[in-house]
Structure 1
Amino acid sequence: MLLKVRVLETREIFFCSPVYALNLDKDRIALWNFLEHYSTFATGPWMALGDWNAIRFHSDKKGGKKVPQRILNDFNDCLHKAGLSEVHPTNGEWSWCNRQVFLRRIFVKLDRVFLNERWIYSLPGTKVLYTSAACSDHYGMSIHILMEFAAGPKPFKMLKVWCLQGCVQSLVKKAWDNEISGNPIHVLLQKLRLVKKALKDWNKNCFGNIGEKLIKSKHHLDEVQLELLRDPSENNFQVEQEARLDYQAAVVDQEVLVSQKSRILWLKDTDRCTSYFYNKMKQHRNFNAITLVKNDSG
């Protein structure tokens, strides 16, 4: 089922698919095909949630018989083709228990929430919590959609992309070599402050904003290539080659930055998965966000 929901106040539209999957793996094939098919119709933010009666990894089950890898692969292949990413609950690992005793007790993660790329981009503050299971063998799920907010000044972070620039090493060395007197801890802190200031000034005045550089280099390349079509001279060809190299360098800088923020370390230099890493970055930021503080009074 694919429900189309419109928010009356904002007129925004999103899609929702409540799921109750059948118990046998062969009977779930129709559901996997449905999700793959309807992913093309969910042109806006899309959430699929419910009791999937399936696990994605062997670690999603504790106790009982081991689930064949083939069944896990069918579920994960469906999610990949449908472009759905899981929102992991922040307060638990299991959503179902058979309520048996000792060795016969089984815990399984059956209830899940999945979002498409548009939802993650538009509503990155979506969280899932498991609730109590007083009258059922399933725990309930509570979904919270939180808006992003400004969190004050951002802490300084050393960007990996800076290390690709040849002048950074000498810049750091020059700042570090400043003579400072005092005890070793004081000297260390002062040197770190000097390096931080030198890098921030260099980034602001020389290196610049990576996103803006990417947009400007792409715009410049488009203009140069149009001019080359009008006048295919040797001079315009050389200008186009230089503009192309500038744009390719900006793309590499952007991918290095996004891969660092997403904490995905296995990105290969030839990959072009920028949107995937943006979504991972948003999910990581969402997972680390503190949205509730509980004191001794509750």
Structure 2
Amino acid sequence: MSVLSWNCRGVGLPWNVRFLKDVVRQEKPAFVFLCETIGRHDRVEWVRRQLGYEGMIVVEPQGRSGGLCLLWKEMDQGKLLSYSQNHIDIEVRIEGMEVWRLTGIYGEPVRANRRKTWDLLRHLARDSNLPWVGIGDMNNICSHADKKGGNAYPNWLIDGFNETLMDVGLIDMSLTGHQFTWERGRGTSEWIEVRLDRTLTTDAWLTVFPAVRLYNLEGSESDHSPLLLIPKRYDRSQNCTHFRFENAWLSEPMCLEVVKDSWEENSKSDIQEKVKLCGEKLLVWGKEITGDFAKRIRECKVELKQWRGRRDTQAVQNYKETKKKLFLILDQREIF
């Protein structure tokens, strides 16, 4: 059970949908919070179906900016408590767990309006005594170490945010991975990196999930990195390998021959057995043709981490080329 949060800067964009599909496929988050969706309800509904989630709350954008969406895997696991242009708050009920509260937050982007975000947190804190976690693009930082490049961040904004967290009893979670979640001007003299996306929790929530980890995911086409909140240590050895038909195979003439041969070889088997054996044969053949997609994606992400923190011209160029390669692989991996 995990929570994915991402300022996607347009949920309906093809590359964002591909990226979301891949993250959902790999990490299997139970909840997905998206901000700056810039998409109407019908478009977000289409994305929900593509990702395979049942529950959904949508806050439509105002004009060409904003918009929020919170998805959850099973309908009866989430109950809406409140929402606004800057938050979606739900009660989470999962069998065998204590009831808790999840809030997706999109902080006011205009500095002059930041107090509205602080007031929102104070208001939400008074609404319920349930164990509480908030996640999203807060548009606030906790210290000068949360920003690299550009002008110094105003002290009154840092102090105001920290005072709010103290007043309402929220703890800023440490981040595993790259310590900045937003960037602008990569490769230029005006390159800025800031940790705008974060997770805030109460002591009560940490008592329920003492082994929680927060990860910064790589490879996003947005200027924001997604966050993955995992309330317990993630055991990847529990993942099962399932057959999936890869879009890239359709461009290979041999694909049809592999299917025909398998079907004929197992003509006396029942339909379920035929499909199983055909899938196994396609999986072996497909790896020889297109390679192991998961391995290629992992290699790209390792390269991205290698180049990300460097500011020399060659590193910036390598980062951009690796990012293009990653999204070409995701495009090939599109599944029917």
TM-score (norm 2): 0.42
Larger radius of gyration: 1
Richer in strand (by share): 2
Richer in helix (by share): 1
Higher normalized contact order (CA 8 Å, seq sep 6+, divided by chain length): 2
